[in-house]
Amino acid sequence: GESVGLHLPTLSVQEGDNSIINCAYSNSASDYFIWYKQESGKGPQFIIDIRSNMDKRQGQRVTVLLNKTVKHLSLQIAATQPGDSAVYFCAESGRVTGGGNKLTFGTGTQLKVEL
Amino acid sequence: DAGVIQSPRHEVTEMGQEVTLRCKPISGHNSLFWYRQTMMRGLELLIYFNNNVPIDDSGMPEDRFSAKMPNASFSTLKIQPSEPRDSAVYFCASSLAMVGDQPQHFGDGTRLSIL
């Protein structure tokens, strides 16, 4: 039969504009969240993380916002560049036996930057 | 700095053959994770190790899959016998556990095609 793949939502932005990528997470007990960027043919690359005791964290051109009330996470990219074109994943995490984090990934958002 | 190193980058083999994927985590990291990525199911955690000990293998699809970590700098994921539905990109990731919340860092994956 015909196989159906995951439908990745796509966000198209003009170069220089700001991008906002959203993510809803499922586990209210998750206490650590990470955003990853995945370019074609490469592994997910760490962008920024945030702990549940914070609601905002800023990096270089990126900001992550966390709203625990509605279990929502967003990634804001300022002055989007062509090199930002990729699939972006949010991941939620809880502590695991023996230390460390076990991540659950969202389905991803394809960001396309138009010149 | 050397990141997570995976080999081979690409593997094409016939069904029924044994496949061995290899991973060298980042030096000093003590947690190692194996993931599988497909269009149908996205990123799935297969198994993870803390301090070379398998902690959770509930994501391993079936008995045909096995993983080992004989020392802190090397892990293997083996599929025997391989089947066409095992075709996917397999990622290895590592992190520094026991030091609070830490992101996982991914290799560039092994693209596996089973004919």
pLDDT digits (tens, 9 = 90+) for A35-85: 999 999 999 999 999 999 999 999 999 999 999 999 999 999 999 999 999
Question: Looking at A1-5, A6-10, B52-56, which range is the least confident one?
Answer: A1-5
Give the one of B48, B56, B107 whose C-beta lies nearest to A43's C-beta.
Answer: B107
* Cα A31 to Cα A27, A54, B31, B49, B64, distances in angstroms: 9, 10, 19, 21, 34
Q: Which residue of B has its CA nearest to A42?
A: B108
The mean predicted confidence, pLDDT, of chain B is 93
Distance (Å) from the alpha carbon of B41 to chain A's nearest alpha carbon: 7
Distance (Å) from the alpha carbon of A52 to chain B's nearest alpha carbon: 11
The answer to whether residue A88 scores a pLDDT higher than 60 is yes
The answer to whether residue B106 scores a pLDDT higher than 90 is yes
Q: Which residue has the higher pLDDT, A96 or A49?
A: A49
Q: Which residue of A has its CA nearest to B92?
A: A43
B49-100 pLDDT tens trace: 999 999 889 899 889 999 999 999 999 999 999 999 999 999 999 998 755 6
- The whole-number average pLDDT for the span B15-28 is 97
Determine whether the interchain pair B50/A6 forms a contact, defined as Cβ–Cβ distance below 8 Å.
Answer: no
CA distance A53 to B72: 32
Question: Which one, of B104, B87, B81, B83, lies nearest residue B41 by Cα?
Answer: B87
Give the one of B4, B48, B53 whose C-beta lies nearest to A102's C-beta.
Answer: B48
Question: Looking at A49-63, A100-114, B22-36, B83-97, which range is the least confident one?
Answer: A100-114
- The whole-number average pLDDT for the span B33-53 is 93
CA distance B27 to A66: 31
Scanning chain A, the segments in alpha helix (DSSP H) are none
Query: pLDDT tier at A5 (50, 70, 90 boundaries)?
Result: low
Question: Which one, of B58, B31, B30, lies nearest residue B44 by Cα?
Answer: B58
Residue A1 is predicted with a pLDDT of 38
